[in-house]
Structure 1
């Protein structure tokens, strides 16, 4: 594109206005003097942008709440935007432009597309805005200044290892409720699960896969379809806990609750309760509060004196949660999980 960033912002005014309707803005006063907008070196009037994949997924709701708390603690203003749905790359592009026009010093983003958002991120960084990825890495990783996220491949391995061990000597017959194509989170979790199961992508033990966008209703429909094609399935991978809940609803309707072992990833309080109640066999807990607070602290430091965070991937940790532990695989029970969910 040959237009200058400022011209492009004017041309995209309509898209920005539409995206602003999704605004979930919360703020706190941070001083009387204005600092340099969109660049490091000012310690006053710090504005931080947050762009999540959606504004309805409980994981991103928690992330937004945690980012607001961290911003208040650091005397900064948080401006929160989101895509309209999981996979809404254009909505996130417009949100970046919106935030740059508002003079933020830094943007935290959970990319809907790990590669489709790169041009907009580069444009923001070229104007002096620090950009950090939360939860979902960009591709390539150095397209942002830093990433604060779960090691999603390791989380997938933990999920797959638990499912495999829980099957014992029974031959696995796996179906998979994936997320959204093109996201690094989706790819890493999927590949990690297969690694934990000791299976290849084209293994005959993998009976079917469906995309769900991490949505419970879509997951239920997808699981119904999978059960029609593979009624003998005994193991279910799920991209997240809403997908697991949707999958379980279909499994229960088919009377197969005792046939299929379900693993998941998220670690919400609701998800931990579902593990306790037997809806999910095990889940891998993430820590979105850590992601948000570390992202806010990095941007505040940059705004105050130009200090940039450690480049590359910063692992915020994960824990396997189950009341059915297996030998050789570290885990915590649901009592611990309820006390620490999404902490």
Structure 2
């Protein structure tokens, strides 16, 4: 953990997306104004990747919210889910650009804390979106899915579909050290009704939330055993990769796949029978609330605090007793991406 401000590194490879709103040519400099002599509110957004539909949706929603709130958005991203170094550099870049607030979906719950602390020392409001930091009070506030709840919903649903059959489970997690990965994993096991050392878990792998890594990991797990009847997947790209590997083995009817996200492609996959259910989350709400909080802080000094649950909804066309759910018709009206 750094005690003093780090100098930004030269030549760092970052995937950079910059959205400048309101007036052409008004960049993120200290002197930018709204045309009335006031400095425009500048909001930084740091996501995990620029390819996952969840973060693409979040970035677009943040840009729309910035325009609505009379602010500008500077959006940066890591190269991949787990690219802590890239996120640290992104935060340092935003500090140098004198933004008033930073919204971040941390890839590593602790790795970016030094940069966040530096930003807060500079008087910048920092809000975590989607993924909490560890400790949670390392940021001013968090707007996110209750990932334990989302995991419990997924686990309870998949176990109910087994209808009393002994579970034979594979688990496809996200990124090691990620609070989201840990919380969803733990929530799933609680909803599924087993412990982490249960012999019912026939295999597990980290996938960094990536479809191709998930497909390869599932293929490897199925080479060890095809005695599998259920699969936990951390998100819909992972579920898609797992589904492809399971289908290639002719096991689609045998294996119940649950997942979390609620993107439109994921909801369509549930409708098509590739997954049994998805737990929808709401990245647009996270972005809207985060941008609004930064603009309020910049104009009034009022800071948000604590954790705000932005919601979850189980989506399936095969409901089970005891679990509230919505159909894919509803899901397609409320999905994202």
Q: Structure 2 length as normaliser, TM-score?
A: 0.94
Q: CA deviation at 1:230?
A: 2.3
String of CA shifts for 1:235-283, please: whole Å, max 9, x gaps.
0000000100100101110001110000000000000000000001000
* Structure 2 counterpart of 1:153: 148
Runs of 4+ in 1 over 4 A off after TM superposition: 1-4, 34-37
8 A contact 1:30–1:75 mirrored in 2: no
Q: CA deviation at 1:322?
A: 0.2
* Structure 2 counterpart of 1:112: 107
DSSP 3-state at the match of 2:22: coil
Q: Is 1:29 matched up with 2:22? A: yes
Distance 1:171 1:336 in 2: 32
DSSP 3-state at the match of 2:329: helix
Q: Is 1:210 matched up with 2:210? A: no
Q: In the alignment, which of 318, 326, 336 is matched to residue 324 of structure 1?
A: 318
Q: Tell me how large the CA RMSD over aligned residues is.
A: 1.9
8 A contact 2:263–2:335 mirrored in 1: yes
DSSP 3-state at the match of 2:19: coil
Q: In the alignment, which of 247, 254, 261 is matched to residue 259 of structure 1?
A: 254
Q: Structure 1 length as normaliser, TM-score?
A: 0.93
8 A contact 1:133–1:144 mirrored in 2: yes
Distance 2:69 2:142 in 1: 20
Distance 1:316 1:114 in 2: 19
String of CA shifts for 1:195-217, please: whole Å, max 9, x gaps.
00100000111111011111111
Q: Is 1:342 matched up with 2:336? A: yes
Listed as ranges, the gaps of 5+ residues in structure 2 are: 32-36
8 A contact 2:259–2:278 mirrored in 1: yes
8 A contact 2:29–2:97 mirrored in 1: no
* Structure 2 counterpart of 1:272: 267
8 A contact 1:35–1:44 mirrored in 2: no
Distance 1:2 1:290 in 2: 33
Q: CA deviation at 1:342?
A: 3.3
Give the number of aligned pairs.
330
Q: CA deviation at 1:305?
A: 1.4
Label 1:3 to 1:261 Cα distance change in 2 as closer, same or farther (>3 A): closer
